[in-house]
Structure formats: structure tokens, C-alpha cells
């Protein structure tokens, strides 16, 4: 993020910003636009005559145009301003990256079942918690290094979890389905819960009217002194 901001400041100073700037999202999509400003970890651009914003955490890199580029334009992926707005919204991965980059993590002092999470979402949102559960649904891969699963408590209530490859091995160890008569092993994930209201700032495929859980690890480590808590897989 610091590297991107530095490049933008240099470009402004040299008056090199023009309509041929290329903004590359972490999703792999790229947009030809005019980069106008960078403030509060957010880029402001001009695209299709509209002034739009994109959190820096969603951006992989920016290629600034030069006069030579304008004379010999290369093949570019150019999408509409409406598609740009969708790409500029959060995914579970970029939200966690922003969350982890802006605070020192605290101990997860609250333990919740999926049912507890749904009932207490507005008091526990964005606070590290321990989610305990005993079963899961089928794991689905929904993107590059992106997976989703529903986890269940003993009361049959469930919550949707989005995670990356770091958590895949552990979540695979959870038994799929639900056995009524079987002795159930208890599993735990540490992370944050998000309300459906917060999910309105996410891309549309993540918005479906119920809270979700974003895990940061399966265990915690408390360092000596005043060091922040570390979550590990």
C-alpha cells in the first residue's frame, strides 16, 4: 500500500496522470481510468465521466500512463464504471487485510456457537471471538484461494464461513454432515463476525442477508510484554 501511495504522489508531482492510467485489482481485472487522488487509504479515479473510489487494499498495482503510451496504446481490459464499483467493494480477503492492518489484535474473550453469533451479532461484530462448532457442510471453492462452508452447532443452527487456503486443511478435518447419535468432537475458529449491514460494502456475491464469520486461525498465541495477540492456523 505504501508503495502504491508513493507512486501516486510521484505521478502527481510530475503531472504524468492522464486518462490512460491502468488500475489493476487483486481480482485480476484492470481498468483504464484517470487516477485523481489518494487519501485515507482510498484512491479516487475518473472513469466514464464518473468520480469513483476504491480502497487501496483491493488494488494490486497501478500503471501510470506516459505520453509515449498514448501514442502506442497497448491492449487493455476496459470495463464500465459500474463494474469498477463492484470490483472496488470488499471481499472477505481484502476486508480482513484492512482489518488486520489497522489495529493491534486483542484476545478473543467471547466464545460463541453459530446460534450465539447470529443472536449477538450487533454486540460482537468486528471483535475477535472464538466460534465453536461440531460439523460442517460441503466445502465450496468460490474463487482463487477462496472457499466457503457452513458450520453447525449442536442446536442445528449454522453460520457461513469464508476462508482461504491457510485454513483448508483444518476445516477439512471437521466431519461433513450431521450425525444425531454420534459423539461429536468440538472444533474452534478464531476470527470476526460481520452483520448483513456491513456486508452491504462487499461485492454482491457475498451479500445474502445473514451474518458471516471470517476466521484468522485455529489457535492464539500471547506474546510476552505488550505484544498483540497472534492468530495461527
**Which runs of E-coded beta strand occur in the chain?**
21-25, 30-39, 42-47, 50-55, 59-63, 110-112, 129-133, 135-136, 140-143, 146-152, 158-163, 187-194, 212-217, 219-221, 230-232
pTM of whole model > 0.85?
no
Domain range annotation of the chain: 2-88, 103-232
Average pLDDT over residues 147-159: 92
Q: What is the pLDDT of residues 181-215, one digit of tens each?
A: 565 789 999 999 999 999 999 999 998 789 999 99
Q: What is the pLDDT of residues 174-190, one digit of tens each?
A: 999 876 556 578 999 99
Give residue 179's pLDDT.
62
User: What are the strands of the beta sheet with 59-63, ordered from one edge?
Assistant: 50-55, 42-47, 30-39, 21-25, 59-63
Q: Are strands 140-143 and 158-163 parallel, antiparallel or unpaired?
A: unpaired
Q: Return the CATH number of 103-232, one of 3.10.450.50, 3.40.50.720, 2.40.50.140, 3.40.50.800.
A: 2.40.50.140
Identical topology for domains 2-88 and 103-232? no
Q: What is the pLDDT of residues 36-57, one digit of tens each?
A: 888 878 889 888 888 998 988 8
What class has domain 2-88? mainly beta
d(CA 56, CA 205): 21
pLDDT range class, residue 222, cuts 50, 70, 90: confident
pLDDT range class, residue 66, cuts 50, 70, 90: low
Give residue 150's pLDDT.
96
Asked whether the beta carbons of 106 and 124 are under 8 A apart, the reply is no
Amino acid at each position: 500500500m505504501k508503495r502504491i501511495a508513493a507512486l501516486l504522489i510521484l505521478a502527481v508531482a510530475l503531472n504524468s496522470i492522464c486518462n490512460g492510467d491502468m488500475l489493476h485489482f487483486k481480482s485480476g481485472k484492470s481498468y483504464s481510468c484517470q487516477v485523481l487522488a489518494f487519501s485515507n487509504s482510498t484512491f479516487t479515479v475518473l472513469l466514464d465521466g464518473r468520480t469513483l473510489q476504491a480502497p487501496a487494499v483491493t488494488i494490486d498495482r497501478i500503471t501510470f500512463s506516459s505520453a509515449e503510451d498514448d501514442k502506442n496504446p497497448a491492449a487493455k481490459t476496459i470495463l464500465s464504471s459500474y463494474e469498477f464499483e463492484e470490483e472496488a467493494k470488499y471481499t472477505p480477503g481484502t476486508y480482513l487485510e484492512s482489518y488486520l492492518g489497522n489495529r493491534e489484535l486483542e484476545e478473543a474473550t467471547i466464545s460463541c456457537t453459530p446460534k450465539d453469533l447470529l443472536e449477538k451479532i450487533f454486540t460482537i461484530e468486528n471483535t475477535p471471538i472464538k466460534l465453536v462448532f461440531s460439523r460442517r457442510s460441503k466445502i465450496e471453492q468460490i474463487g482463487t484461494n477462496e472457499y466457503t462452508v457452513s458450520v453447525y452447532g449442536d442446536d442445528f443452527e449454522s453460520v457461513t464461513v469464508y476462508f482461504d487456503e491457510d485454513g483448508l486443511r483444518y476445516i477439512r478435518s471437521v466431519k461433513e454432515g450431521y450425525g444425531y447419535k454420534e459423539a461429536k468432537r468440538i472444533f474452534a475458529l478464531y476470527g470476526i463476525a460481520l452483520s448483513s449491514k456491513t456486508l452491504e460494502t462487499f461485492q454482491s456475491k457475498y451479500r445474502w442477508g445473514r451474518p458471516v464469520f471470517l476466521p484468522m486461525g485455529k489457535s492464539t498465541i500471547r506474546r510476552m510484554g505488550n505484544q498483540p495477540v497472534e492468530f495461527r492456523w
